[in-house]
Structure 1
Amino acid sequence: MIRKIGIGTGIIVSIFLLFKFCEFKKNDAEDLNYNTNLIQQQIVNVGKLVVTEGHFSEVITYKNQEKYLLDMLSFEKKALVIVNADVTVAYDLHQMKYDIDEENKVITIISIPKEEIKISPDIQFYDVEQSKLNPFTADDYNKINKSVKANLAKKIEKSSLKRNAQNRLISELSKILILSNSFGWKLQYKGEVIKSEKDFNQKIKL
């Protein structure tokens, strides 16, 4: 009789422990799913256009000469070109590619979009000199516009504009790092674990 009671008690305890184990696994799975959804939502929130703006000015003297009669006769046209340009450097983080490994609790950033540089020049012409045999044409304006954008691109490379945009990018990506660390997840980029903004700075190159 005592033996039967012992067996019965053992079965009840086993069932109780099994139930508790299943309940624990269920709660653990629910927590993992909740954390994953929360992290995904944060990445969506971060996925915005990070923009840094700048202003550049320059003055260009444009000259062109048409020659006739074995270069004995020439007609020149020239103008003073003043340029004021608004420049934006942007990262569209909606284009960022990433992978979430729920089993190992790892977020991997696969790729970060390249910066988008937009130059919007306002070009004004002064002291325009031309002749009927060598007037300003649409081709001249296209050449000037192309030259202006090329010069501005060089100025942008030498300025701090791209660096400032990169710093803002790192600041946005660090929000993902903070959230992942708070849930005990790891964040990886280019095959290495990212532990701080400094790690991002070393990995993201202009």
Structure 2
Amino acid sequence: MTSRRIIFISCCIIGALLAFRYCEFKKNDTSSLESDTNLIQQQIVNVGKLVVTEGHFSEVLTYKDQQSYFMNMLSFQKKALLVVNADVTVAYDLRKVTYDIDQKNKVITIKNIPKEEIKISPDIKFYDIDQSSMNPFTGDDYNKINKAVKANLAKKIEKSTLTSNAKNRLVSELSKILILTDSMGWTLVYNGETIKDERGLNLNIQG
């Protein structure tokens, strides 16, 4: 066997070994990528739940209404003292979070986070009711009172820490996805920005 033939056979063997090693590497790389994707999807499933923050509010209001007749020469007033106790919940349904996974570039993009759902359940008690036969309390009055109470409570809730506490819980849950993606070398994107830490996630959600 000539030396040229030996060199040719050796090159073929080395080439075959390199090709085999390359195929094995690509196979392992693809398998690892699929494994990472499955882990991320599972973490999103684990996070996908209803996050509820509860609060209680109390207030005392006075309701007044006056009916006038004969060019305001005759009027009949009704009024009542209202004591309101309300249970309030602020909820985020994380099962509605939508996302996109880019396996090639190892990027997960959160496309939508549902808005908070605020539920107000007021218990209204009436005291010191003053009314007349010409201007009695009716169903319309109770509907107006209920609507006014909820509107007033909504303002108090907005100024309270209840909504901010609910958002903090939301950030805490979504941070679990951030921790996992960061540990695997993936990138998390939300609102068109790369999320590098919990502070960045918090700023984007609060904003």
Q: Into which bin does the TM-score normalised by the smaller protein fall? A: over 0.9
For the pair 1:67 / 2:46, whether they are aligned, the reply is no
Name the CA distance, whole Å, in 2 between partners of 1:58 and 1:34: 54
Aligned to 1:102: 103
Residue 191 (structure 1) shift: 2.1
**CA RMSD of the aligned region, Å?**
1.4
Q: What is the percent sequence identity of the aligned residues?
A: 68
Give the TM-score taking structure 1 as reference length. Answer: 0.94
Name the CA distance, whole Å, in 2 between partners of 1:14 and 1:182: 36
2:7 is paired with a residue whose SS is helix
1:84 is paired with a residue whose SS is strand
1:204 is paired with a residue whose SS is helix
Name the CA distance, whole Å, in 1 between partners of 2:36 and 2:11: 37
Letter of the structure 2 residue corresponding to residue 111 of structure 1: N
Residue 151 (structure 1) shift: 0.6
5 Å matches for 1:39-78? 39-78=40-79
Name the CA distance, whole Å, in 2 between partners of 1:71 and 1:9: 113
5 Å matches for 1:1-206? 1-2=1-2, 3-205=4-206
Residue 96 (structure 1) shift: 1.7
Give the TM-score taking structure 2 as reference length. Answer: 0.94
Name the CA distance, whole Å, in 2 between partners of 1:104 and 1:44: 22
Letter of the structure 2 residue corresponding to residue 190 of structure 1: N
Name the CA distance, whole Å, in 2 between partners of 1:201 and 1:46: 16
| Alpha-carbon displacement from aligned partner over 1:12-43 (angstroms, at most 9, x marks no partner) | 22212211210110111011011101101111
Letter of the structure 2 residue corresponding to residue 87 of structure 1: V
Name whichever of 27-36 and 12-21 sits farther off.
12-21
Letter of the structure 2 residue corresponding to residue 130 of structure 1: Q
Segments of structure 2 that go 5 or more residues without pairing to the other structure are: none
Name the CA distance, whole Å, in 1 between partners of 2:107 and 2:53: 31
Letter of the structure 2 residue corresponding to residue 148 of structure 1: V
| Alpha-carbon displacement from aligned partner over 1:115-162 (angstroms, at most 9, x marks no partner) | 111111111111222222211111000110111011101101111111
2:28 is paired with a residue whose SS is helix
For these two proteins, the number of residue pairs brought into alignment is 206
